[in-house]
Amino acid sequence: MGPTNETTPTRSIVNGPSKTAWVVSLVFHAALVALMVFGPSLRPTVRPPLPSGPVMEAVMIDPGELDLVPLEEPDGPTPAELERERLAKEEAEREAQRQRDAQARAEQREREEAERIAREEQQAEQERIAREKQAEAEEAARVERERREQERADAERLAKEKAEADRLAAEQAEAERLAQEKAEAEQREREKAEAERIAKEKAEEARKERERIAKEKAAEAARQAEAARKLREQMAREEEMRRSMGLEQQRTEAVDNGLLAQYIAQIVAKVERNWNRPPSAGEGLSCTVKASQLPGGEVATVEIVECNGDAVVQRSIENAVFKASPLPEPADPTLFERNLVFRFEPKS
């Protein structure tokens, strides 16, 4: 007997009466309620019985010519109707009793069937447990045999693997030693070649730098000589013009009004904008710059009179002054000076 058939009766006992019994009982009660509600309206009208006796002659009269009072139907159910209702109730009660008896017999059969199924299930479960225990014991014995065999095989395999690993480790160590020696030798050769290359590059760079500085100094000397010559000529002409025009008073007034300070500030600002700050320029840089210019602001010569920066910083300031050429023009022409002296103190 399968699991599905065994559990069906048990479920019926737990859940109560069978489905068929419930359906029959429900239909019966519905019919009884319908009879009690609609019964009085369905019974026929009872007419009084005709009188019996000797036959009499009669004359047909038109009912419409008579003033007759209509007969009233009796109120309430008749004795026959009451009897039928009583019989219907008794039949309903007997049917309900038969349904209860049938339901009780069905429940008893279901209980007996459930008990039988439970006994069979218990016996089958005990047999299954016994078979499982026997199978578990056999499986445990088999697993133990396989474990011992596997342990012996593993021990042999590990011994072989260890011997092979030791051999490979020795070979690997020897190969690594040879490779390390070869790599070190190659590295020494590369370092030697790199050192020679760097030394050659530095020597070449130093030579080129000396040549560049020499060329710059020569060009600067020639430029300054030419500028000095032009400056002397121009200064002589301007001095003569200043004396002839009497502009000293105008210059003094411009200086007093602060136009000279404004003019120098404009020159310093333009030089600072054209300055490329070298890495060696530290905080608090302060240099005194002397520059000569031609009319129109073209810079002729530059000289660093005093400076707390190194040679690279001083050369960068000189280049900045030349890049700022032409210098700004003063607001008052009398403030124009061939020789300018100003402090270069760039912002950090």
Distance, CA of 81 to CA of 323 (rounded, Å)? 137
Distance, CA of 25 to CA of 44 (rounded, Å)? 30
H or E segment to which residue 320 belongs: helix 311-323
Give the CA dihedral 274, 278, 284, 286, nearest 10 degrees: -60
> Cβ(327)–Cβ(263) under 8 Å?
no
Read off the tokens for 329: 């023009």
Measured in Å, how far apart are the chain's first and last C-alpha atoms?
102
Give me the residue label for tokens 């095989």: 153
Give me the amino acid identity at 48.
P
> Which stretches of the chain score pLDDT less than 50?
1-16, 45-46, 48
Q: What is the pLDDT of residue 28?
A: 75
Query: What would the DSSP string read from start to end of 137-197?
Result: HHHHHHHHHHHHHHHHHHHHHHHHHHHHHHHHHHHHHHHHHHHHHHHHHHHHHHHHHHHHH
Query: What would the DSSP string read from start to end of 88-134?
Result: HHHHHHHHHHHHHHHHHHHHHHHHHHHHHHHHHHHHHHHHHHHHHHH
> Cβ(285)–Cβ(308) under 8 Å?
yes
Q: What is the pLDDT of residue 13?
A: 37
SS3 of 344, please? strand
Q: What is the pLDDT of residue 25?
A: 72
Candidates 281, 248, 232, 268; CA nearest to 340 is 268
Q: What is the pLDDT of residue 14?
A: 39
pLDDT in tens, 28-76: 777 776 666 555 555 554 454 555 555 555 555 555 555 555 555 556 7
Read off the tokens for 244: 């002839």
Q: What is the pLDDT of residue 10?
A: 42
